[in-house]
Amino acid sequence: MINESRLVQTFLDLIAIDSPSGQEEAIGAELTRLLAALGGEVERDEQGSLIAHLSAAQGDGQSGPSGDWLMLSAHMDTVGKDLGIKPQIRDGVIYSDGATILGGDDKSGIAVILETIRSVQEDGMPHPPLEVVISVGEEVTLRGARLLDKGKLRARRGYVLDGGGPIGTIVTSAPSQDSLQITVHGKKAHAGSEPEKGINAIRVASEAIAAMPLGRIDPETTANIGTIEGGVARNIVPDEVRMQGEARSRDNLKLAVQTAAMATAFQEAAERHGARVEFKFTRSYSTYNWTEEDPIVAQAMAAARRLGFPPVLEASGGGSDANIYAEAGIPCAVLSTGMEDVHTSQEHIAIADMVNSARLLQEILLAG
Ligand SMILES: [Zn+2]
């Protein structure tokens, strides 16, 4: 049985260990200890991400095929730089003290995975061989999962416990993302005595940004210019502007069109003024799209229905480690742990939701 007070205690213990992205040393050591105590063969890669292998159990002496490896995944880093998080419980809901995030993203996912394994072990329930993967650096463009040696992974399907919404919410698709780095090179000149000798890089950038499609492009596609910096002084025509932006779509063709449109807007503005543009983009992660027929989705939906949680299939606007594993040939669905308002100081999670998330995961394991 999922043990509510043990689950909450595990969650609070994990919250007590600071782990902003890049500072996962302490929590990684603790998770290694916890997973080893559950009988896991734990391996930590150079970045600090963990892979633990736990063998299958037949349950009550029954024999039968042990099944294929099933991945259960979460991330151990928390967003931003918040330290010293002080969780508070009010009316069955866990909050921070309002000064920081809570870190339920994604420590609720880790706590749910640990409690589920404890529960099935304690009750001698059958389960497939489990591959627990806990990444570092998820909040910085999925760095830990990207750098993880996927050749070490044995599972060919999995669940990433890193979602919000009512229990039963299953993320079945997420976009591809292009990260953009743009520099406009103009020409310096004295702004008062000889402005005509200059090429104003800020003006070129402004015209380009004003001309390009941005924001919500269509239901599957978004784009943003997120940072801009440049210029040296009030009285100098600026010769350089640097920008960071992004484009996302759940359709790779639409993404290519959008990224090209942004590049073209810069190119055209630069040509009008005799400026030069460097436009670089990298694919940060790639889209996935599962349907109700895909086994990971079908099994999660069936398990949710058995427990009375209406399955809700959701298309996400953001990437997660599931994008990286999907690209490596491991289809993963993202399950809700009940976390809400993540990445803000209002972040919170209802204990009942966390318990139900573990019950759902346990139900999925029982079905193999
Ligand atoms: Zn997360």
Three-state secondary structure call for residue 198 = coil
Task: Determine if the pTM surpasses 0.75.
Answer: yes
Q: Which residue in the list 106, 115, 131, 138 is annotated as catalytic?
A: 138
pLDDT digits (tens, 9 = 90+) for 92-140: 999 999 999 999 999 999 999 999 999 999 999 999 999 999 999 999 9
What does the alpha-carbon distance between residue 55 and residue 316 come to, in Å, rounded to a whole number? 32
Q: Which of 77, 106, 115, 246 is catalytic?
A: 77
- For the stretch 151-182, pLDDT in tens is 999 999 999 999 999 999 999 999 999 999 99
CA 307–ligand 1 middle distance (angstroms): 25
Radius of gyration of the chain (CA): 24
Measured N-to-C along each axis, helices 351-366 and 104-122 cross at an angle, to the nearest 10 degrees, of 50
Q: Cα(270) to centroid of ligand 1, in Å?
A: 39
Whole-number Å distance, alpha carbon 139 to ligand 1 midpoint, is 7
Q: What is the pLDDT of residues 194-248, one digit of tens each?
A: 999 999 999 999 999 999 999 999 999 999 999 999 999 999 999 999 999 999 9
Residue 77 annotated to the active site: yes
**If you measure from the C-alpha of residue 177 to the centroid of ligand 1, how many angstroms do you get, rounded to a whole number?**
17
Calpha distance 270→263 (Å, rounded): 11
Decide: 47 and 148 in contact? Cβ < 8 Å: yes
- The whole-number average pLDDT for the span 302-331 is 96
Catalytic site includes residue 138: yes
Would you place residue 67 in the very low, low, confident or very high pLDDT band (cuts 50, 70, 90)? Answer: confident
Q: How far is the centre of ligand 1, averaged over its atoms, from the C-alpha of 76 (Å)?
A: 9
Query: Cα 76 vs. chain centroid, distance in angstroms?
Result: 11
Phi, psi of 292 (to 5 degrees): -60, -20
pLDDT the model gives residue 63: 45
